[in-house]
Amino acid sequence: MAPTITIREDGPPPYVQVRDGLIRAIERGRLLPGDRVPTVRGLALDTALAPNTVARAYRDLEEQGWLVGRGRAGTFVSDLPPLRPPAAERDLQVAADRYLRRASALGFDPEAAITALRRRTGPPS
């Protein structure tokens, strides 16, 4: 059964919404270990997103251990999904993502943003 993922225009980036929607479906048992997830193109059509956006979400999920790609056979829910990080760690990741997006909007690359942050906080102790 394909998960229903609704993309909100006022929400986080679409690939994050796809990624988080699939994680929720796995955690709530709508997608079980070994279940095949929709194809990138199929989910892109269902969500009215570009295939590259859905593919980015799938790559993230594979890197995190939620999904396993099996070539032409498709993409499946991992037999052993990873443990979710604590809420505070997720919140920190969201804040870091926002900071890096804002720095990029100002014309800075990630290294410059990190350097600025290190200058602000001082040397590690």
**Domain boundaries of the chain, sorted by first residue:** 14-77, 87-121
Mean pLDDT score, 106-113: 94
The Cα-based distances of 16 to 44, 82, 116, 117, 124 in angstroms read: 14, 17, 26, 24, 31
pLDDT tens digits along 38-91: 999 999 999 999 999 999 999 999 999 999 999 999 999 999 888 776 677 778
The CATH number that domain 14-77 falls under is 1.10.10.10
Q: Which two tokens stand for residue 60?
A: 């993230």
